Structure 1
Amino acid sequence: MLGHAPKDVWDYTPRSIHGFLGFARRRQRHEAASRLAHATAAARGDPKDVRQLVRELQKD
């Protein structure tokens, strides 16, 4: 459940669930924006710059 064990979620209050879902939606939007930015850079960028970006992303 977006990083939370289902058995734990049953003990959350509705307000807590709402808050966690809000954080999850925001995180997903940021991740989608990041993927789009990287895809755009790959499509338009210099191959050397794209290879460097891939190396940097693979370090983590």
Structure 2
Amino acid sequence: MIADGHQAADVWRYTPRQVIGFLGFASKRRRQDAAAALSIGAMAARGDPKELKKQIEKLERD
């Protein structure tokens, strides 16, 4: 949880329910990030260079 931005002192004061909740949120976010990276990688592997450039520009704006 510290790697996800929680302060160490705060983590030690969390209840077990809070720990489970925060770990669940972090797990879901990591799965979503992995799915996005896989999608982008697949598009890059077989994509049109113009479309790739547009996607990169969009990601850099957001």
Q: What is the letter of the counterpart of residue 32 of structure 2?
A: H
Q: Which residue of 1 aligns with 2:33?
A: 31
Counterpart in the other structure of 1:12: 14
Find runs of 4+ consecutive structure 1 residues off by over 6 angstroms. none
Find out whether 1:58 has 2:60 as its counterpart: yes
RMSD after superposition:
0.7
Equivalent of 1:49 in 48, 51, 55: 51
Compare the two structures and name the one with the higher helix fraction. Answer: 2
- What percentage of residue pairs aligned between the two structures are identical? 48
Identify unmatched segments of 5+ residues in structure 1.
none
SS of the equivalent of 1:4 reads coil
Structure 2 stretches of 5 or more lacking a match? none
Residues matched between the structures, number: 60
Cα shift at 1:44: 0.8
TM-score scaled by structure 2? 0.91
TM-score (normalised: structure 1): 0.94
